[in-house]
Structure formats: structure tokens, C-alpha cells
Structure 1
Amino acid sequence: MASGQRCACQHAKAKAHDAQRGTAAHRGYGGRWQRESKAFLALPGNERCACGCGRVADMVDHIRAHKGDPVLFWSRSNWQPFARVCNSRKAIASEGGFGRPIRGHQF
């Protein structure tokens, strides 16, 4: 197998994980989220990624994973501007993103 490719068992595990998550809209990231997050990123001071990398923020990240809690999901004090690439890295490291196990490193 070429480097960087998943084996069949990894692919099946990721597919099962994605099926359990539901769609973005089912998880709360529908039209209202699109409007609210766009407005948040337009606020002064929210132009750059909160991780300090200097990239332009192109999404809103939940500082503390909401895990389905609607109060935590919509709390702007739990939001921060992030670059998508940095958010993926954070999810992998702190939440076991993309079906991977959680590592000890926290952001």
C-alpha cells in the first residue's frame, strides 16, 4: 500500500464513524450557523486564526467541544476564529478527530 493511504479496515472504521455523526445540519451547522459564524468572523479582531499562526480565519471554532450541548454550541464566548487547516490539526490532537484516538496534546 502506498504511503498516506488507508487500509481497508481504517477506511471502514472512518466510514462507520462518519455515519454515526450525522450530517452537518443534524449537528447544528445549518443556515443559522452559517449566518452567525459569518457575522462573528466579520467582527474586528476576528480576522486571523486564534492559534497564532497568522493565517486568515475562515471558520469559527468551538473552544470547548460542545458535544451536542446547544447552550455551549451557541455561546459566543466559546467561539474563536480559526483557519480550517489549524482546526483540523486541533480536532485530531484534542478530540480524536476523523475517527482517530485522542492524543495527550491539548491546544
Structure 2
Amino acid sequence: MPFKPRRLCSCGKIVSTGELCACQIKRKAETDRRRPNANDRGYDSAWSKARRAFLDKHPHCVMCGKPAVVVDHKTPHRGDRTKFWDKSNWQPLCAHHHNSTKQSLERSK
């Protein structure tokens, strides 16, 4: 049965593919502690209503055509309320493309 080889973490430790190194777990926990909660970032009941209405009008992922479950901001709003509510900056995505492809694109910028 084939298996994936272990990988080298940026800290120099060897870890199994698909697992996080202790340094990555610590870094993620620190980042999560500093990040405002979803409500403070604008994802409140007004967003839920707008999101639902947008997905009703745009039910398919713009990348693959599967059912969309996420309204993504094409350009990250970074707390800018004008960008947050600019509907021309919204796009429907399936969970896969929002959580993988789009995140990779944003990290590479």
C-alpha cells in the first residue's frame, strides 16, 4: 500500500504528511487568540441575510459550478466596511475552492 513520505517542517523537525508540527500548532493558537471573533469582523445577522440572498441568486461556485455555500470577498476586505458590503466584490464558492484554492491565491499575493 503506497504512503506519503514524511516532510520537513520549517523549524527543521520531520513530521508525518497531513499532521502539524508542534511549532505550527503553537503559531496557529497565537494567531487565533489575536484574531477578532466573527461578529467583530462583521459576520453578524445582517451578513447572514445578505449572504443567503446572494447565494439564492448565485447558487453555483464560480470556479467549478458545484453548489456554492460560501460568499467570498474577491479582494480581502481586511476590516474595511465599504469593501465588506460591496456586492461587486462578492463571489459564490463551494467549500473546497474557498478553503483551498482561494486561500492559496491570497497567500501568494
- Normalising to structure 1: TM-score of the pair? 0.80
Specify the alignment match of 1:103 in structure 2: 108
Aligned-pair Cα RMSD in Å: 1.4
Specify the alignment match of 1:71 in structure 2: 82
Displacement after TM superposition at 1:91 (Å): 3.9
Specify the alignment match of 2:3 in structure 1: none
2:61 to 39, 46, 49: 49
2:30 to 4, 16, 27: 16
Specify the alignment match of 1:89 in structure 2: 100
5+ unaligned residues in a row in structure 2: which ranges? Answer: 1-14
Write out per-residue CA displacement over residues 50-75 of structure 1, whole angstroms, 9 at most, x where no aligned residue. 11x12100110001110110000001
Q: SS of the residue aligned with 1:81?
A: strand
1:30 to 33, 44, 47: 44
Write out per-residue CA displacement over residues 39-94 of structure 1, whole angstroms, 9 at most, x where no aligned residue. 11111xx111011x121001100011101100000011111111121111234212
Write out per-residue CA displacement over residues 13-59 of structure 1, whole angstroms, 9 at most, x where no aligned residue. 1111112222111111111111110011111xx111011x1210011
Give the letter for the 2:68 counterpart.
A
Percent same amino acid at aligned positions? 35
Q: SS of the residue aligned with 1:24?
A: coil
Moved >3 Å (runs of 4+) = none
Give the letter for the 2:105 counterpart.
S
Distance in 2 separating the partners of 1:37 and 1:2: 38
